[in-house]
């Protein structure tokens, strides 16, 4: 799946005991290494913030698009959450508890 800032792919793997993830930030996404590193740091922060909600037995790959270098942290987080929910990477108990909240 894709949004303005990211392309995300996932593969469930029952043999994995934990989440394995990868970030791809090419020179197409940002010309300067400083900017690519900023995107990666923001993605790591988003995973730390929402990591306990993710189903652990899976691979997760996130590719940054060119617009990611211009986006704020909150925009990146909103895009990431939209993709994660669309791909079904959240644990079932997390989805059920979110659907019951007012």
Q: Are 47 and 89 in contact (CB under 8 A)?
A: no
Rounded-to-integer distance, Cα 77 and Cα 83, Å: 10
Q: Is 9 helix (H, G, I), strand (E, B) or coil?
A: strand
Domains in the chain: ranges and CATH: 6-100 (3.30.230.10)
Quickly state the pLDDT bin for 78 (edges 50, 70, 90). Answer: very high
Q: Are 23 and 89 in contact (CB under 8 A)?
A: no
| CB 20, CB 54: distance < 8 Å | no
Element spanning 85, H or E: helix 73-87
The pLDDT tens digits for 15-73 are 888 889 999 999 988 999 999 999 999 999 999 999 888 888 899 999 999 999 999 99
| Interatomic CA distance for residues 64 and 21, integer angstroms | 14
Place of tokens 């996404």: 29
Q: What is the pTM of this model?
A: 0.83
Q: Are 89 and 55 in contact (CB under 8 A)?
A: yes
């Amino acid at each position: 799946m894709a949004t303005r800032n990211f392309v995300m792919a996932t593969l469930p793997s029952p043999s994995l005991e934990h989440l394995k993830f990868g970030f791809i930030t090419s020179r197409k996404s940002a010309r300067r290494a400083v900017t690519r590193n900023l995107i990666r740091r923001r993605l790591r922060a988003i995973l730390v913030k929402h990591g306990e909600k993710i189903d652990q037995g899976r691979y997760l790959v996130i590719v940054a698009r060119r617009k990611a270098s211009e986006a704020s942290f909150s925009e990146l987080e909103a895009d990431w959450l939209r993709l994660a929910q669309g791909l079904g990477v959240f644990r079932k108990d997390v989805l059920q508890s979110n659907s019951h909240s007012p």
